[in-house]
Structure 1
Amino acid sequence: MTVVTRISFRSGDRDLLDSVVEDIVETSRQKGAEFKGPHLDPPEDHEVALYRRLDGDPTNEFDAWTYTVFQRRIELRGYDDLARDFLERDYPDSVQVEAEVE
C-alpha cells in the first residue's frame, strides 16, 4: 500500500508562500516523485477587534485589524524520505507547515 502525504503550507505573505511551494514542487520534479498540486485554496480573511483600553468595552473600539491567510497544498504518493525531508526543513517563521499521512 502506498503512503500518501498531504502537506499544507499557510502564510500571510503570498509571495514568500509561493516561493517556498515552488521550491518544493521543483525538488519533487527533480527527484521524479509522484505528486499532485500545488492546490490553491481561497484566501481566508480574518478580523481582529482592537480596543483602546483593556476592559474590552465595545464603545472604545478602534477599527478592526484585518489580515489574509493564503494556503497551498501538495500531495506526495510514496517517496517517504522526500516527504520527511520537506517536513524537516527550516521554513521562514511566517510559513506554517502541516502534514497528514495516510
Structure 2
Amino acid sequence: MTFVTKLRFESGDRAVLDETVEGLKELLERKGAECKGPHASPPDRLRVPQYRNLAPGDEYEAWDYTVYTRRMEIHGNDHIAREVTMREFPPSVHVEVEVEQRSPLGGHT
C-alpha cells in the first residue's frame, strides 16, 4: 500500500502563500520525496455583507476579499509527510491535510 498525502493551502495573502508553498516544495525535493505540485486554483473573490444591527436594510459596504489556493501531493515517504504535517505554517495560511491509501495497479485489496 502506498500513502498519498494531499495538502491544500489557502490564504488571502498571495505572497506569503507562494513563499510558504515554494519553500515546502524545495524542502521535499532536498529530502528526496516524490511531490506533485504546487497546483494553483483560480482565486475565489468573496463578498461578505456587513450589517450595522439586526434590522434589515441597515448595512455597511460589503467586505470584499480574495482567497488564493494551492494544492500539493506527497507520494509515499510517510516519515517526510508526517514531518510536513507537524510543521508550523504562517498564521495567514490555512492548511488542510488528507491522507489517502492507494493500492498498486493490478494489486489486490
1:45-76 superposed Cα distances (whole Å, 9 cap, x missing partner)? 11110122x22422x11221110110101001
Paired position in structure 2 for 1:64: 62
The TM-score with structure 1 as length reference comes to 0.92
Measured on the aligned residues, the alpha-carbon RMSD in Å equals 1.0
Paired position in structure 2 for 1:5: 5
Deviation, structure 1 residue 90: 1.1
Aligned to 2:2, what secondary structure does the other structure show?
coil
Deviating above 3 A after TM superposition, structure 1's stretches of 4 or more consecutive aligned residues are none
Any stretches of 5+ residues in structure 2 without a counterpart? 101-109
The TM-score with structure 2 as length reference comes to 0.87
Change (3 A) 1:57 1:86: same
Residue identity (%) = 49
Any stretches of 5+ residues in structure 1 without a counterpart? none
Q: Which has the higher helix share?
A: 1
Paired position in structure 1 for 2:54: 55
